[in-house]
Amino acid sequence: MRARRWGAAAAAVAAVGTISGVVTVGSTPPSSFRSPAVARSEPARLVSYTSCSQMIDQLQDEALSQVGPDGFTSSSSVTPTGTRAVSMGGMASSGSIASNGPATGVGAATSSVAAPGAMSGTTGTSTGASTDGDGTAPPDFSTTNDQEQGVDEPDLAKTDGSILVALRQSTDTLEVASVSGTPALVGSLDLSSSVQATGLFLTGGDAVVLGSSPLSSTQAAPGTEVVVVDLTNPAQPTVARSFAIQGTYVDSRLVDGTVEVVVTSAPTFAFVSPPAGSTAAIAAATATNQAMVRSSTPANWLPSVTSEPSGVTTVAPCTSAMQATTSSDEMGTVGIVPIDPASDQPGTEVTEVGDATTVYASTSSLYIASPVVSGDSSTPSTAIDAFDLSDPSAPGYAGSAVVPGTLIGQYALSEYDGDLRVATTIGMPNPAPGEGTDPTTPSDNRVTVLGASDGALVPVGSVDGLGEGEKIYAVRFEGPLAYVVTFNQTDPLYVVDLSNPADPQLAGQLPLTGYSSFLEPLGNGLLLGVGQTVNANLQNDGLQVSLFDVSDPSNPTLVSEDDLPYAISSAEQDPHALLYWAQTETVVMPVTEDQPFTSTGPAAIFGPTFVGAVVWTVSGGTLTEAGKISQPVVEASSPPIAQPATGGGGTVVLPDLAPGTQTGVPPQIEQAVVVGDMLYTVSEAGILESDLGTLASETWMAYS
């Protein structure tokens, strides 16, 4: 998930255009509270500051009008009116967004040869290129269920066919297991003093752990930490280097060996507040805060990166920062920090004023998206900023666009043949029956194609009318096709033909009950949907796993389905939790099955009936449940809680919620990984090895 570069100081990379209600502005400020998106008589342009003093003078002049007794009057992330700084570690030159070529369906692809630790970027097969200690090549192994092949995403567990590394988030511990020969836990590293871990990469013999810095009493907000762990000796993992990035962690991607870390941050000022509400106290606090702005330096405005063990702190040079001729009320920044795990210093940081809520990347481009809320409209749009990743160590600004509507996440974006496809919901969907009145203007759903032109993203074509009054619940792009699921009372699966970007067409649709919140292309014309069944009141009623035949885009069909009443899966919202192993046509995902709540009788029980993973096969185009896997029960330290039941006496037994475990209940499985003919399930309690064919438990590796 990433992107990249160019420059030319005074070169303005922007353009304006409209199509089907889409407005694109090459340098529209990327922020969650942008100025209204409107067409302008001339393109918005980015121009370079000629010096640090020019940048500081302009930022100070405009910030002073927003500084009050408590700091910035709107928020610390508000940008001075009329300013948009884009810091690019080098000069800019015109260019275009590189094509990523035909997209490959996640899970359907097989990587060629990947070195141990080099993730292929799909849930398909990887084959170790180097050898184990006995001279044999590691077996085939699964990789993270990434959106794009060749672009790895952070996950809780990764393998290279020889070792399996997992994050134990409850203790911020990196666990290392050998999966070559007799499986066993071989190493562990406590990272709790360094990072509150949210994900990791495995690359080049290192584990790269990412997350927030532990919050201290002197911090207003957590920073971002990137910790590189040397796994040369898996039994003794050690911290090789780390990077403390000023700003809140948003997301990251691994592209061509470089980790692209996206953070948001605000200007750093130790603003004061008046100790009392008197006029004199307010005036004194305002004067103090204004004095801080007047004495500010580039370090107050541009985020920094501190590398260890060198202790060197770097700030993007202000002489390469750029300002826009359009106005904005933002002062927060978005930073893209390239990290080479083998280097002690970060790459060239890109910093732009604005906000980031969604990150998507191809192997050649990284896109940052955030909602735009106009002051005179309750209908938001989405601003998208593109960065060229042709040199992953030095990303460069490539252009911007604003499209009407909102995204459901990164899967609403897809690059194909140099174009960016965007799926959005425009307006408010109709409420469920009995939960309000329909809006005056019904919602609509649209797929828009944006093309690169003179350093900007300009509209090429669009198709709308996808589920009036509904909203998008799932979207997946695969090659020249888009699969879109909208939902209100039924679940239409739309197939959109984007083979002619200038004239997208609705190819086919399939009305269904319930909905899918995630779609996984399996290859061979099959598409897997993961979501929920719904009852007459449109309330979720249980896990629904659907298999669609989309080989004929004009006639999508439901060929198989499995419903699990009172069940949920983390794969409904987290694609990384789903494993598709194409070699055996096996689907694995975590599942928790509950029982209907009973409030009468001598003992009303509330709790799950199954916690573990469910395994399906899709052989012959039929979805068949092959079995279930549960890890061993780990008893919590305290007994269950009993409380009176409502409406019938007796008690309700609530399981004790210890971190990662429950009394009498197996640990919740987070991930599933295949190595050779073995299936490994990972939880906060340990790693279970099972036979992939029979699902029989083989080895339980409990964390200490």
Say what the pLDDT of residue 96 is: 32
Please determine, for residue 39, whether its predicted confidence score (pLDDT) is greater than 80.
Answer: no
C-alpha dihedral (464, 405, 44, 26), degrees to nearest 10: -70
Q: How far is CA 654 from the centre of its chain?
A: 33
The pLDDT value given to residue 322: 59
User: Please, which pLDDT band fits residue 216 given cuts at 50, 70 and 90?
Assistant: low
Q: What is the pLDDT of residue 215?
A: 74
The dihedral through the CA atoms of 362, 368, 374, 378 has a sign that is positive
pLDDT mean over 155-180 = 97
pTM of the model: 0.82
Residue 392: pLDDT over 80: yes
pLDDT grade for 111, boundaries at 50, 70 and 90: very low
pLDDT at 681 over 70: yes
Structure tokens at 308: 């260890």
Q: Residue 69 has what pLDDT?
A: 93
Max avg pLDDT among 19-23, 113-117, 369-373: 369-373
Question: When comparing pLDDT for 445 and 131, which is higher?
Answer: 445
Q: Is the pLDDT of residue 7 over 80?
A: no
CB-based contact 85:353 (threshold 8 Å)? yes
> 């007047």: which residue's tokens?
294
Q: How far apart are CA 396 and CA 388, in angstroms?
A: 5
Return the higher-pLDDT residue of 20 and 390. 390
Under the banding of pLDDT at 50, 70 and 90, the label for residue 124 is: low
Q: Checking DSSP bridges between strand 608-617 and strand 603-605, what pairing results, if any? A: unpaired
Q: What is the mean pLDDT of the chain?
A: 79
304/631 Cα distance (integer angstroms): 44
CA distance 512 to 46: 48
Residue 30 has pLDDT above 60, yes or no: no
Confidence of residue 241 (pLDDT cuts 50, 70, 90): very high
The identity of residue 78, as a single letter, is V
Q: What pLDDT score does 32 carry?
A: 29
- pLDDT of amino acid 76: 39
**Are residues 368 and 385 in contact, defined by beta-carbon separation less than 8 angstroms?**
yes
pLDDT digits (tens, 9 = 90+) for 649-675: 333 333 444 444 445 789 999 999 999
- Alpha-carbon span 461 to 502, nearest angstrom: 4
- Other C-beta atoms within 10 Å of 537: how many? 10
pLDDT digits (tens, 9 = 90+) for 549-578: 999 999 999 999 999 999 999 999 999 999
State the Cα–Cα distance between residues 385 and 415, nearest whole angstrom: 13
pLDDT of residue 563: 95
Q: Check whether 129 has a pLDDT greater than 70.
A: no
The helix or strand, by DSSP H or E, that contains position 58, with its residue range, turns out to be helix 52-64
Instruction: State the average pLDDT over residues 294-321.
Output: 86
**Per-residue confidence band for 79, with pLDDT thresholds at 50, 70 and 90:** very low
pLDDT at position 186 is: 97
The rounded percent of the chain whose pLDDT value lies above 70 is 73
pLDDT confidence bin for 537, thresholds 50/70/90:
low
Higher pLDDT, 425 or 639: 425
10 Å CB burial of residue 352 (0-12, 13-18, 19+) is buried
User: From the CB of residue 479, how many other CB atoms can be counted at a distance below 10 Å?
Assistant: 15
**β pairing state of 312-315 and 304-308:** antiparallel
pLDDT range class, residue 302, cuts 50, 70, 90:
confident
Most confident among 43-47, 86-90, 367-371 (mean pLDDT): 367-371
Convert 624-633 to b/e letters by CB count within 10 Å (16 or more is b).
Answer: eebeebbbee
Residue 170 has what pLDDT? 93
- The answer, yes or no, to whether residue 434 has pLDDT greater than 50, is yes
Q: Which of 184, 175, 338, 174 is nearest to 263 (CA)?
A: 338
User: Up-side HSE of residue 62: CA atoms within 13 Å toward CB?
Assistant: 20
At residue 106, the pLDDT reads 30
Lowest pLDDT segment from 465-474, 524-533, 536-545: 536-545
**Structural domain boundaries in the chain:** 1-18+29-99+148-370+382-404
pLDDT at 80 over 50: no
**pLDDT tier at 108 (50, 70, 90 boundaries)?**
very low
More confident residue, 64 or 108: 64
| pLDDT given at position 313 | 94
Helix orientation angle between 279-294 and 52-64, rounded to the nearest 10 degrees: 160
Max mean pLDDT range (52-66, 89-103, 387-401): 387-401
